[in-house]
């Protein structure tokens, strides 16, 4: 019942349909009352706004007055405004009649629909917007009052207010498996679990945390989360879906950034504006270029008209930067002012200019079906070309880059579809051949041999000439309005004005986003990290911290983590360690009836939430437990540099590889059965949160897929091979050990008595078929003959049966809920 | 693919965003539609040779194309003549389908924003060609749920097109299309066959049930309950799905109805028969693909060939749906991503892409048959009484009882729709 209520409520508050119906309701029933009865004291136009409460925008009502928020949408009981009108205290001289009061109740229950966001006075609107919680400065909560762990101090305070006693700490087996999956995305081996269990009680936990944070698996696990947000894919997507042979460099950059604990502010700045940063050596130079691959890896509709193509690409970049880092849906303001958040369409085009003045060196040349393949790349400096860098041979370097690009393009044009007209081909060829000739002529002697060492990378750079962009009316590229100078959205312009004269402004944008005082950036980030560890966010909206995103369940906690993150120099490892060291993290996920009754959604963290493993973790764990995980991997450029279509070798490799999932070449619209079955997000879209489904196709996959069956059989065969070598061990002990081994390996714990008994019965199932009974004539002591039975066991047959049973048992454990969850 | 009410509720509380409940989406009008069969002609079917009767083409055959320079108007080789009581003109290339003229609503005023196959195809399927968006079938399934929990709710039978056309994009993956290979029905849905046999498998599942059940300490653990159910359902699907798609037991009469006994029509006939069987089994959206309509060359020969392959099976499908009482709640949509030019280029034997005007047709649940709806200019270049793709989508949703403005999903901070901010329901199509 509770769940149903929540859902119906969410429909009312979120769907456009509800918005419309709700707005109508508001306009007919509520607005007239507000205007005639309340505005005179409670609006921005009132001479003296009573109690600091204005009621003339939705935001103002949400922010409330001196006494805090006046309405909590959906919650009549928590909305002081309602108390006032119901009790007749307000309006003071002229209480509302019962019917009207009921309308107010209904309106708040509906989620307080209100369409007055189009405020006549933009400045008032902005001022109110800045009062919204996520735009307010992060203030470190007073944490001196807590003894011991601060996270626990904050969490437990809320729990004790609610009279809830949290559950006990999880047992050792669960803790170690939880840490392994959460920190490196793989389960512990049987031996690793044992090591922990036998370790020194007071130090082993922290030691394990430190070791795992230092493991390369850390970047492979946490890098994957960022790649979801970065909509990482290795082809252009859409209809042409051209291959990106070098996008993997960016993927590796992300993995390394997490492994090297690159400060998160640098992580931001390098991805948005790496090309504009100073560099001390060529390693830096390369790093900065690879990082900006972030901007270039979005999907592109190569066949769109030039203007549309560029507008869509810029939009993709605005979206990934603002939603990815700030949790702001600025790209909603592409066609019209933002419907909920304080972004005007002009705000959008102010930021648009930054990207419009940026050149994309993504290796793609826009064109239709017949034309257009290879475009310009940026290039990395390496050992062979290092002296060019050292001697600052800038002109020579760029000429070499041009030559490399032109040569590749000339080759590419020669492969254009036969339907491209001869004039087209000739025109494009001629143009480039001329440029190539000129570049070669300009290049001083002795440099051309460097050409073969140039390694392509996807990157960006500022255009040579800066130009302001025009607002596209209704987002239509052929319907341009006024020019909008480059700037940040107005709601943020209480900051010093940035100077965009000679550069695109990406650097200024990046440093502003990464500034330690930015109220959004670090809240968004710590909330995502929290979600990956706790299975739920402090705010369950991971890419929208605007009005529709709602409010955090524990703002103190969010502010503490955010300020702590900034104070500890933006270290992800420090942040994660702080969280996993808390008691809150170590709790078991056990059910507790009493607690459940008062906090069914576990908002207050009285227990740990069970987390379904992500698709990659399920695949990696299967490979790991079966001993097949391949530590090496190949990148697309090892298969092909041609971008037109994936080669057979590449697509075969994608299906067959046993490397960790993050390294599987990530072409767009490419199916990888196991990952798709377990909710891998569409890599064409930014995904700050994944769906979790439980459906029978997953069951069918784990029950019947030949790869799974083979894996289980091989595991069983391996165990039996070892059994055979243990010659004289008592069979019953051997079988017992086998069962313990598979439980420990797959679930990270030994079986309990009941499980063991059932597993043993299953293991021995059918072995009687290997027994034959012979009748033997015997002579008794008394000399009389009698018939006796003699059981003969066909050992080979029995072993075969048991090996088969063991394979089935392994598969059963893989199918359990426990295997696919982190408890 | 299976989602009980319970797991759906749980799923939505776990962050699926808004859940579409029919009651809230309901359109005011009485809707008949329960499912859609979309017969997709990949490549851009010529409209002037098939369903858009253009008398001026015949009168002025051979003149210079007044709209597109360098072409000459070429009339259809086989005439379009009145059919049925309604007398709407349909090409004589479709002798069987003509018998159902009074059931067909020819939509002659279609137009598309793109003349490029991939883009136009994606627009037709998802309502957008700039970005990755959920397919029409995914939206319908999301809005209405499924009637058969043992089958995928959105099936494509040899669609022959990329997954961008039938993916669920930001909708949960359970709403994506599942491809069926009609030529390999033994392995039509992956992982459906148990390699260890059903008896052993049952034993495995019994132990699995015990293990899972031991952990079900918490009666509110709906995820674990959902998991347990998912295995039981999977077990049943192994027998029920092959039964559904088994056509070996169909009578010779049925096979003949779809032309499966005839070499020319067998392949497409099989697709149509499967579509009917899936309809019967409660699948929400079924797409049948047929390739080869991009006729830049030898169009007269090729369109005759294609018509031959499809005519009998489609007529068979309509009749069979009628016979088992499904026709009145099934919406059949037939057509392409765009049409073809009325003129040939100098020396050419085919027609090129024409997205300014083309034809589709609809039949079945709630569709007003026996009429031509919308129109193109005198030679068929441009839609005059125009219907765009969003209008088409809005109308289909309407026929399925959904208000297209209410079927939304929250992603990226806003509510998305199949019809974006567009779409006008075409009342004239509706009976």
pLDDT tens track for A338-349: 878 889 999 999
- Could A754 and B21 be called an inter-chain contact, meaning their C-beta atoms sit closer than 8 Å? no
Q: Residue A332 and residue B416: Cα distance in Å, rounded? A: 11
Chain B residues near residue A540 by CB distance under 8 angstroms = 15
Beta bridge partners of B71: B345
Q: Which residues make beta-bridge pairs with B41?
A: B290
- CB spacing of A303 vs B119 below 8 angstroms: yes
Contact residues on chain A for B25, CB-CB shorter than 8 A: 17
Q: What are the DSSP E strand ranges found in B298-411?
A: 330-335, 339-340, 343-345, 353-354, 358-364, 371-373, 375-376, 383-385, 387-388, 408-411
pLDDT-derived band of residue A37, with 50, 70 and 90 as boundaries?
Answer: confident
Q: Using CA atoms, how far apart are residues A666 and A652, in angstroms rounded to an integer?
A: 13
Q: Which residues of B touch A811 (CB under 8 A)?
A: 204
Whole-angstrom Cα distance, residue B165 to residue B162? 6
The better pLDDT of the pair B76, A669 is held by: B76
Q: What percentage of chain A carries pLDDT values higher than 90?
A: 67
Q: C-alpha distances in angstroms, A510 versus A234, A278, A295?
A: 25, 14, 12
Residues of B in contact with A20 (CB under 8 A): 405
Q: Which contiguous run of DSSP H or E holds residue B226?
A: helix B222-245
Whether A815 shows a pLDDT value over 90: the answer reads yes
Residue A546 clears pLDDT 70, i.e. is over it: yes
Q: Do A323 and B412 touch (CB under 8 A)?
A: yes
Residue A68 pairs in a beta bridge with: A65
User: For tokens 């008949």, what's the residue?
Assistant: B32
Element (H, E) at A341: none
Confidence of residue B390 (pLDDT cuts 50, 70, 90): very high
Cα–Cα distance, A74 to A14 (Å, whole number): 12
Q: Does residue A577 have a cis bond before it (omega within 30 degrees)?
A: no
A469 has pLDDT over 90: yes
Q: Please tell me the distance in Å from A442's CA to the nearest CA on chain B.
A: 41
CA A734, CA A728: separation in Å to the nearest integer? 10
Task: Write down the pLDDT at residue A804.
Answer: 95
Does this complex have an ipTM over 0.85? no
A481 three-class SS: strand
Query: Which residue in A696, A816, A818 is closest to B1 by CB distance?
Result: A696
Mean pLDDT in residue range A711-725: 94
Six-digit token pair at B78? 């086989």
At which residue do the structure tokens 């393949």 appear? Answer: A373
**Contact between A587 and A167 (Cβ < 8 Å):** yes
Which chain A residue has the Cα nearest residue B7?
Answer: A694
Kindly report the nearest CA distance between residue B164 and chain A, in angstroms: 7
Cα A37 versus chain centre, distance:
47
Q: What is the pLDDT of residue B26?
A: 55
**Contact yes or no for B415 and A19 at CB 8 A:** yes
Cα of first residue to Cα of last residue in chain B, in angstroms, is: 33
Closest CA to B329 of B179, B176, B431: B431
Specify whether the CB–CB gap between B90 and B51 falls below 8 A. yes
Question: Which residues pair with residue B285 across a beta bridge?
Answer: B36, B154
Give chain B's mean pLDDT.
Answer: 89
Q: Which among B283, B31, B328, B327 is positioned nearest to B147, based on CA atoms?
A: B283
Beta-bridged to residue B110, according to DSSP, are B358, B387
Express each pLDDT in A733-759 by its tens digit.
999 999 999 999 999 999 999 999 999
Q: What is the DSSP letter of B113?
A: S
Minimal CA–CA distance to A369: which of A478, A234, A241, A233? Answer: A241
Compute the nearest-CA separation of A628 from chain B (Å).
22
Tokens, residue A697: 């196709």
User: Residue B183 has what pLDDT?
Assistant: 83
Q: Give residue A42's pLDDT band: very low, low, confident or very high (50, 70, 90).
A: confident
Whether the per-residue pLDDT at A283 is higher than 50: the answer is yes
Average pLDDT over residues B55-74: 94
* pLDDT tens digits, one per residue of B250-287: 999 999 999 999 999 999 999 999 999 999 999 999 99
Are A700 and B203 inside 8 Å of each other by CB? no
Which of the two residues, A55 and B203, has the higher pLDDT score?
A: B203
Tokens for B227?
A: 């998991």
Interface test with A, best of B125, B145, B190, B211 (most A CBs within 10 A): B211
CB A86 within 8 Å of CB A106: no
Size of interface A-B (CB pairs under 8 A): 234
pLDDT for residue A14 is more than 70: no
Q: Answer yes or no: do B173 and A676 touch at CB < 8 A.
A: yes
- The residues with which B72 forms a beta bridge, in sequence order, are B64, B344
pLDDT at A4 over 60: no
The predicted model gives A268-275 an average pLDDT of: 98
Q: Other CB atoms closer than 10 Å to residue A491's CB: what's the count?
A: 19
Secondary structure of A790-818 in HEC code, one letter for each residue: EEEECHHHHHHHHHHHHHHHHHHHHHCHH
What span, in angstroms and rounded, lies between the C-alpha atoms of B313 and A736?
Answer: 62
B398, B25 contact by CB (below 8 A): no
Query: Looking at residues A277-302, what average pLDDT do you find?
Result: 96
Full 3-state SS string of A429-460: HHHHHHHHHHHHHHCCCCCHHHHHHCEEECEE
Nearest to B191 among A332, A705, A817 (CB): A705
Cβ–Cβ below 8 Å for B207 and A812: yes
- Tell if the CB–CB gap between B412 and A319 is shorter than 8 Å: yes
Residue keyed to tokens 């475009």? A375
Q: Whole-angstrom Cα distance, residue B40 to residue B272?
A: 12
Nearest CA in chain B to A758: B207
Taking the C-alpha atoms of residue A247 and residue A263, their distance in angstroms, rounded to an integer, is: 23
d(CA A775, CA A170): 57
Q: Best interface-test mutation with A: which of B413, B414, B417, B423 has the largest number of A CBs within 10 A?
A: B413
Report chain A residues whose CB lies below 8 A from the CB of B231.
Answer: 696, 699, 703, 815
A782 to chain B, closest Cα gap in Å: 49
DSSP E strand stretches across A55-189 = none
pLDDT at residue A776 in the model: 84
Helices and strands counted in chain B (H then E): 12, 19
Band the pLDDT of B3: cuts 50, 70, 90: very low
What integer pLDDT is reported at residue B82 of this predicted model?
A: 97
Distance of CA A711 to the CA centre of its chain: 29
SS3 B66: coil
**For residue A336, which residues of chain B lie inside 8 Å, CB to CB?**
none
Q: How far is B152 from chain A (nearest CA, A)?
A: 9
Q: Evaluate if residue B13 carries a pLDDT over 80.
A: no
Residue for token pair 């918005």: A19
Interface touch B116/A15, C-beta < 8 Å: no
3-state secondary structure of A361: strand
- Which residue on chain B is closest to A689 by alpha carbon? B15
Q: How far is A119 from chain B (nearest CA, A)?
A: 20
Tokens linked to B133:
């968006």
Mean pLDDT of A537-550: 90
Mean pLDDT of A526-550: 93
Full DSSP string of A249-262: HHHHHHHHHHHTT-
Q: Please count the residues of chain B.
A: 431
The more confident residue out of A687 and A118 is: A687
Contact A519, A135 (CB under 8 A): yes
| Helix, strand, or coil (residue A360) | strand
pLDDT of B220: 61
Q: Which residue of B has its CA nearest to A339?
A: B414
Q: Choose among A722, A137, A502, A318: nearest CA to B412.
A: A318
For the ranges A17-26, A474-483, A729-738, B128-137, which has the lowest average pLDDT?
Answer: A17-26
Contact B412 A759 (CB under 8 A): no
Q: How far apart are CA A690 and CA B14, in angstroms?
A: 10
For residue A350, is pLDDT > 60? yes
Name every residue whose Cβ is closer than 8 Å to that of residue A446 and which is 6 or more positions away in sequence: none
**φ, ψ (nearest 5 deg) of residue A361:** -105, 70
Residues of A in contact with B410 (CB under 8 A): 14-15, 548
Q: Chain A residue closest to B5 (CA)?
A: A4
Cβ contact (<8 Å) for B406 and A17? Answer: yes
Query: Which has more pLDDT, A618 or A1?
Result: A618
Provide φ and ψ at A604, rounded to 5°. Answer: -90, 0
To test the contact with chain B by mutation, choose from A541, A645, A697, A712 the residue with the greatest count of B C-beta atoms within 10 A, namely A697
pLDDT tens-place string over residues A753-790: 999 999 999 999 999 888 888 888 888 888 888 888 88
**Quick one: pLDDT band at residue A694, thresholds 50, 70, 90?**
confident
B413 band by pLDDT with thresholds 50, 70 and 90: low
How does the average pLDDT of chain A come out, rounded? 90
Using CB atoms, pick whichever of A369, A703, A758 lies closest to residue B207. A758
- A561-587 pLDDT, tens digit each: 999 999 999 999 999 999 999 999 999
The candidate with the shortest Cα–Cα distance to B408, out of A773, A281, A16, A1, is A16
Is A238–B237 a contact, with Cβ atoms under 8 angstroms apart?
A: no
pLDDT at A117: 55
* Alpha carbons A211 and A199: distance in angstroms, whole number: 14
- Given a cut of 70, whether residue A797 has pLDDT beyond it is yes
CA-angle at A27, arms to A22 and A31, nearest 5°: 120
Q: How far is A17 from chain B (nearest CA, A)?
A: 5
pLDDT at residue A193 tops 90: yes
Set of chain A residues whose Cβ sits within 8 Å of the Cβ of B132: 237-238, 299, 682, 684-685
Considering only CB atoms, B9 lies closest to which of A3, A368, A699, namely: A3
Q: What is the pLDDT of residue A118?
A: 54
Q: Cβ A694–B410 below 8 Å, yes or no?
A: no
- The pLDDT value given to residue A583: 97
Q: How far apart are CA B336 and CA B292, in angstroms?
A: 11
Give CA–CA dist A640/A647, Å, rounded.
Answer: 7
Counting Cβ atoms within 10 Å, is residue A766 exposed (0-12), middle (13-18) or buried (19+)? middle
Orientation of helix A753-763 relative to helix A795-815, angle to 10°: 140
Q: Which distant-in-sequence residues (6+ apart) come within 8 Å of A541 by Cβ?
A: A327, A548, A549, A550
- Collapsed DSSP state (helix, strand, coil) of residue A417: coil
Q: Kindly state the tokens that stand for B24.
A: 């809230």
H helices then E strands: how many in chain A? Answer: 37, 10
**pTM for the full predicted model:** 0.82
In this predicted model, which residue has the larger pLDDT, A55 or B295? Answer: B295
């Amino acid at each position: 019942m509770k769940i149903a209520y929540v859902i119906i409520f969410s429909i009312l508050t979120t769907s456009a349909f509800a918005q419309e119906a709700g707005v109508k309701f508001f306009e007919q029933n509520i607005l007239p009352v507000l205007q005639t009865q309340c505005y005179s004291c409670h609006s921005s136009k009132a001479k003296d706004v009573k109690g600091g409460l204005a009621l003339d925008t939705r935001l103002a009502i949400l922010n409330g007055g001196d006494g805090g928020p006046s309405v909590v949408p959906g919650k009549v009981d928590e909305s002081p405004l309602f108390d006032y009108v119901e009790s007749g205290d307000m309006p003071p001289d002229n209480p509302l009649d019962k019917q009207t009061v009921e309308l107010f109740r209904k309106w708040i229950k509906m989620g307080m629909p209100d369409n007055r966001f189009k405020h006549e006075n933009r400045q008032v609107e902005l001022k109110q917007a800045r009062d919204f919680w996520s735009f307010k400065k992060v203030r470190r909560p007073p944490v001196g009052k807590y003894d011991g762990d601060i996270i626990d101090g904050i969490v437990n305070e809320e729990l004790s207010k609610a009279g809830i006693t949290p559950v006990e700490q999880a047992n050792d087996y669960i803790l170690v498996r939880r840490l392994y999956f959460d920190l490196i995305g793989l389960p512990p081996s049987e031996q690793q679990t044992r090591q922990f269990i036998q370790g020194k009680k007071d130090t082993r936990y922290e030691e394990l945390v430190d070791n795992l944070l230092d493991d390369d698996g850390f970047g492979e696990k946490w890098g994957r989360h960022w790649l979801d947000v970065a909509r990482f894919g290795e082809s252009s997507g859409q209809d042409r879906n051209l291959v990106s042979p070098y996008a993997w460099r960016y993927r590796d950059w992300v993995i390394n950034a997490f492994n090297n604990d690159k400060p998160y502010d640098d992580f931001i700045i390098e991805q948005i504006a790496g090309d504009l940063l100073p560099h001390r050596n060529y390693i830096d130079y390369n790093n900065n270029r690879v990082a900006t691959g972030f901007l270039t890896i979005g999907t592109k509709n190569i066949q769109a008209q030039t203007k549309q193509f560029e507008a869509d690409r810029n939009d993709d970049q605005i979206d990934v930067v603002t939603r990815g880092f700030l949790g702001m849906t600025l790209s909603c303001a592409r066609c019209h002012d933002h419907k909920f958040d304080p972004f005007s369409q002009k705000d959008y085009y102010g930021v648009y200019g930054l990207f419009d003045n940026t050149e994309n060196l993504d290796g793609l040349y826009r064109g239709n079906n017949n034309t257009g393949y290879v475009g310009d790349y940026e290039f990395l400096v390496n050992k062979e070309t290092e002296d060019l860098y050292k001697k600052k041979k800038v002109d020579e370097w760029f000429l070499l880059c041009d030559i490399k690009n032109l040569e590749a393009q000339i080759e590419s044009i020669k492969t254009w579809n036969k339907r491209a007209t001869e004039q087209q081909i000739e025109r494009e060829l001629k143009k480039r051949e001329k440029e190539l000739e000129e570049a070669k002529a300009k290049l001083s002697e002795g440099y051309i041999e460097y050409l073969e060492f140039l390694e392509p990378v996807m990157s960006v750079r500022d255009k040579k000439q800066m130009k302001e962009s025009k607002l596209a009316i209704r987002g239509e590229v052929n319907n341009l309005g006024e020019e909008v100078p480059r700037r940040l959205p107005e709601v943020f312009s209480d900051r010093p004005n940035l100077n965009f004269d000679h550069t695109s402004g990406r650097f200024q944008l990046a440093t502003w986003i990464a500034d330690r005082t930015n109220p959004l950036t670090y809240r968004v980030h710590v909330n995502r990290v929290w979600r990956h560890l706790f299975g739920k966010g402090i705010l369950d909206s991971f890419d929208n911290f605007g009005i529709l995103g709602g409010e955090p369940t524990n703002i103190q906690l969010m502010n503490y983590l955010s300020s702590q993150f900034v104070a500890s120099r933006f270290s992800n490892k420090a942040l994660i360690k702080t969280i996993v060291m808390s008691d809150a993290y170590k709790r078991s996920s056990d059910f507790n009836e009493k607690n459940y009754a008062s906090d069914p959604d576990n908002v207050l963290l009285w227990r740990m939430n069970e987390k379904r493993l992500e698709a990659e973790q399920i695949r990696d764990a299967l490979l790991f437990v079966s001993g097949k995980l391949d530590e090496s991997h190949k990148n697309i450029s090892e298969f092909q540099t041609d971008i037109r279509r994936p080669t057979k070798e590449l697509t075969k490799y994608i299906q067959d590889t046993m490397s960790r999932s993050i390294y599987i070449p990530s072409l767009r619209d490419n199916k990888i059965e196991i990952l798709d079955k377990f909710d891998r997000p569409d890599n064409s879209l930014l995904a700050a949160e994944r769906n979790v489904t439980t459906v029978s196709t997953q069951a069918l996959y784990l029950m019947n897929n030949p790869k799974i069956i083979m894996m289980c059989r091989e595991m069983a065969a391996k165990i039996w091979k070892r059994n055979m070598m243990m010659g004289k061990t008592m069979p019953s002990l051997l079988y017992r050990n086998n069962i313990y081994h598979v439980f420990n390996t797959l679930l990270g714990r030994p079986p309990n008595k009941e499980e063991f008994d059932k597993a043993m019965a299953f293991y021995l199932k059918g072995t009687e078929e290997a027994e034959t009974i012979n009748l033997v004539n015997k002579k008794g002591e008394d000399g009389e003959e009698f018939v006796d039975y003699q059981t003969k066991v066909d050992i080979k047959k029995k072993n075969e049966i048991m090996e088969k049973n063991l394979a089935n048992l392994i598969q059963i454990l893989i199918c359990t809920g426990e295997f696919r969850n982190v408890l | 693919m299976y989602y009980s009410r319970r797991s759906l509720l749980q799923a939505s509380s776990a962050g699926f965003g808004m859940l579409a409940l029919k009651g809230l989406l309901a359109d005011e009008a009485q809707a008949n539609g329960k499912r859609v069969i979309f017969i997709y002609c990949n490549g851009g079917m010529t409209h002037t040779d098939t369903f858009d009767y253009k008398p001026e083409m015949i009168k002025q055959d051979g003149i210079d194309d007044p709209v597109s320079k360098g072409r000459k108007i070429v009339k259809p080789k086989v005439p379009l003549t009145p059919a049925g009581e309604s007398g709407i003109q349909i090409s004589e290339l479709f002798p069987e389908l003509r018998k159902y003229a009074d059931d067909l609503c020819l939509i002659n005023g279609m137009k598309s924003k793109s003349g490029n196959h991939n883009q136009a195809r994606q627009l037709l399927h998802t309502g957008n060609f700039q970005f990755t968006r959920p397919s029409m079938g995914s939206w319908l399934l999301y809005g209405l749920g499924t009637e058969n929990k043992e089958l995928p709710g959105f099936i494509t039978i040899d669609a022959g097109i990329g997954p961008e056309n039938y993916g669920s994009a930001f909708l949960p993956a359970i709403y994506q299309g599942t491809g069926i290979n009609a030529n390999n029905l033994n392995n039509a849905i992956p992982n459906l066959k148990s390699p260890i046999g059903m008896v052993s498998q049952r034993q495995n599942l019994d132990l699995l049930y015990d293990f899972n059940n031991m952990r079900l300490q918490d009666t509110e653990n709906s995820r674990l309950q959902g998991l347990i159910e998912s295995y039981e359902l999977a077990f049943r699907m192994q027998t029920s799905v092959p039964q559904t798609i088994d056509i070996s037991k169909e009578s010779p009469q049925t096979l003949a109805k779809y032309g499966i006994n005839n070499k020319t029509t067998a392949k497409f006939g099989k697709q149509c028969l499967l579509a009917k069987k899936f309809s019967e089994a409660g699948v929400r959206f079924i797409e049948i693909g047929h390739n080869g309509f991009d006729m830049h060359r030898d169009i007269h020969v090729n369109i005759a060939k294609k018509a031959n392959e499809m005519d009998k099976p489609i007529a068979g499908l309509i009749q069979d749906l009628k016979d088992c009482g499904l026709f009145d709640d099934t919406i059949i949509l037939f057509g392409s991503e765009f049409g073809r030019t009325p003129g040939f280029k100098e020396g050419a034997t085919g027609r090129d892409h024409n997205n300014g005007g083309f034809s589709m047709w609809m039949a079945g649940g709630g569709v007003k048959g026996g009429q031509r709806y919308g129109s193109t200019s005198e030679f068929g270049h441009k839609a005059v009484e125009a219907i765009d793709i969003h209008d088409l989508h809005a109308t289909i949703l309407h026929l399925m009882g959904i208000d297209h403005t209410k079927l939304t999903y929250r992603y990226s901070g806003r509510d998305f729709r199949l019809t974006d901010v567009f779409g006008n329901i075409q009342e004239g199509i509706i009976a």
